[in-house]
A and B are shown apart, each in its own frame.
Chain A
Amino acid sequence: MLQIKNLSKCFEDLEVLKDVNLSVAKGEVVVIIGPSGSGKSTLLRCVNLLETPTGGEILYQGEDITHLGKKVTDYRKQVGMVFQRFNLFPLKNALENVMYAPVKLNKIPVKDAKEQAMDLLKKVGLENRAHAYPSALSGGQQQRVAIARALAMKPEILLFDEPTSALDPELVGDVLEVMKQLAKEGMTMIVVTHEMGFAKDVADRVIFMDGGFVIEEGAPQDIFKSPKNERTRTFLSRVL
C-alpha cells in the first residue's frame, strides 16, 4: 500500500533522513522505535507531506505522492495523523472536533456527520463527553477524541507520532486500548512509540531507526529477543 524508497530529508544542511526504505502492506501495523532525534517524527511527517522530502519517493497505491501539487489535500484525506500533543481545535467541543472535517471537506450533511461522530466517540469510549471542550478533557480523553477525529475522514492509513508520550502514565492504557482495537479491525497503522509493550503485542513489524537510517527491521519477537545490530541492542537495553 505504501512504499518508501531512498527517502532523504534535509533541514538546511542537517540531514535528518538518509536513504530510508520501508514498505507497509494493507492492514499491517508497523511500529517505529529509536532514540530521540533519530528522525522518526520526520519520517512520519514526510509520509503525509507535512514535510517535503528532499529526495527519494513515496509510492501510495503505486503512485508517487511527492509531487502532487494541489492534489495533496486529496491524498492527506486518506492518511490520518494523531499527534503527540493532540492538537484538538480548542474552540470546538469533542463532537465538533470529530465532525468538522467531514462536514467542511466532504460536504456530508450535518445530521449524518453528527451520527457518525457520535459512533466514533462511542468507539473511543467518550460518548458521554461529546459536548465537552478540549480544555475540560484529560490528556487521554483528548487523545482519544483526536483518534476519533482522524477516523472520521475514513483514512486508509493512520499515522501515530508518540500518541502517549504526553500523557500521565495512568492514562496511557486507555489510548493504547483504542489503538489495539483499531489494529484488530485491520486498520493500516504506522506508530512511533516508546511503548515497547504495545510494540511486542500489536506490531506486525518493528523498525528501529537511528541517526536517520533504518538500522534494523523485523517481527517484534526477533527484534526484541535477538536484535542483530549492536545499536539496536544498546537502545533496547536502555529502554526495556
Chain B
Amino acid sequence: MELNFGKAINTLGPSLLGGVGIVLYITLSGFFCALAAALMIAMGRLSKNKVLSRILSVLIELIRGTPLLVQLFYIYYVIPTLLNGILSMAGYETNIQLKASTCGIIGFAVNYGCYMSEVIRSAILAVDSGQREAGLALGFSEAKVMLHFIIPPALRNSVPVFGNYLVMLIKDTSLLAMISVQELLLRTKTYASQTFLTVEAYTLLAVVYLLLSIPLSQMTGILERRLKRMP
C-alpha cells in the first residue's frame, strides 16, 4: 500500500482550513446561544411558575431522549416543511428554507442548552442558602439576589463542565455534514471519494480535530485550576 500524505496535505489541507473557519463560527455561536438558552431554561425550571417549569422539563426530556442528529434533521427538513404547510393552509404560498449552518446553530443552542441548563440548575441549587438570606436581609429583592449573589458563583462553578461541553460541541459539528454544511467531514468525504486517498484524508481529518480540541481542553484545565486558586 502506498500512502501519499504530501498530496493530501497540499490539496485537502487548504480546503480543511476553510472548514475550520466554519466549524469555529458554528461552535462559538452555537455555544454562546446554548449558554444563554441554558440560563433561561434553568431560571424557568427554578421559577415558581409550575406550568413553565413543567413545560421546560418536558422539553429537556424530549431533547435528551432523541439523538442530536435527529434533532438537526428535524430542524433542517421538518420545520420548514411544517411552516410552509401551515402557511399554505392560511393562504400564503411560501418556500421557507433555513440555511444549513443556521440550523446547526439552532440545533446546538437547543440541545446543548438543555444539557447545560441542568448543570446551571444544580449549580444554583448548590449555592449556600445563606447567600440568599444575606442578600435579602440587606434589602435586595429575590430577583436581584439571583442576579448578584447566586448566578455568578453558580456560573463560575460550572466553568469546568462548560469547558467539556465546548470540546464536545466542536466534535459534534461533524454531524452537520449530514445536513450539507461544508464543514470538515463533508469536505474530507468528498475529497476521499474523488481521489481515493481514503487513509490519508481521514487521518488528516482526525489530526485537525485533535488540533482543535486538545488546546481547548488544555485551556479549560488551566482555567479550572486558576478558578480553584482564586477566592
| Partner-B contacts on A (CB < 8 A) | 48, 50, 70, 73-74, 76-77, 79-81, 83, 85-91, 93, 100-101, 104-105, 133-136, 146, 149-150, 153
Contact = CB atoms under 8 A, between A and B. Distances in A.
Contacts of B54: none
A87 B128 contact: yes
Contact of B231 (A70, A101, A136): A136
Given A133-B231, A135-B231, A89 B136 contact: no
Contacts of B47: none
Contacts of A91: 152-153, 156, 231
Contacts of A85: 130
Contacts of A76: 136-139
A91 B128 CA distance: 13
Given A87-B130, A133-B231, A101 B138 contact: yes
Nearest to B137: A81
A50 to B, nearest CB: 6
B199 interface: no
Given A91-B152, A91-B153, A77 B130 contact: no
Interface string B124-137: 00001011011011
B-side interface mostly? helix
Interface in B93-130: 128, 130
Interface string B148-191: 11001100100000000000000000000000000000000000
Given A90-B231, A91-B152, A105 B138 contact: yes
B140 interface: yes
Given A104-B148, A134-B231, A135-B231, A87 B138 contact: no
A173 B155 CA distance: 38
B4 interface: no
Nearest to B148: A104
Report which residue of A50, A101, A153 has the largest number of chain B beta carbons within 10 angstroms of its beta carbon. Answer: A101
Contacts of B149: 89
Contact of A153 (B133, B136, B138, B141): B138
A104 B140 contact: yes
A90 B140 CA distance: 17
Nearest to B133: A50
A88 B133 CA distance: 11
A41 to B, nearest CB: 11
A76 B136 CA distance: 8
A81 B140 CA distance: 13
Contacts of A88: 134
A134 B138 CA distance: 18
Given A87-B131, A136-B231, A105 B137 contact: no
A219 to B, nearest CB: 29
Contacts of B137: 48, 50, 76, 79-81, 83, 150
B138 A83 contact: no
A74 B140 CA distance: 9
B191 to A, nearest CB: 50
B140 A101 contact: yes
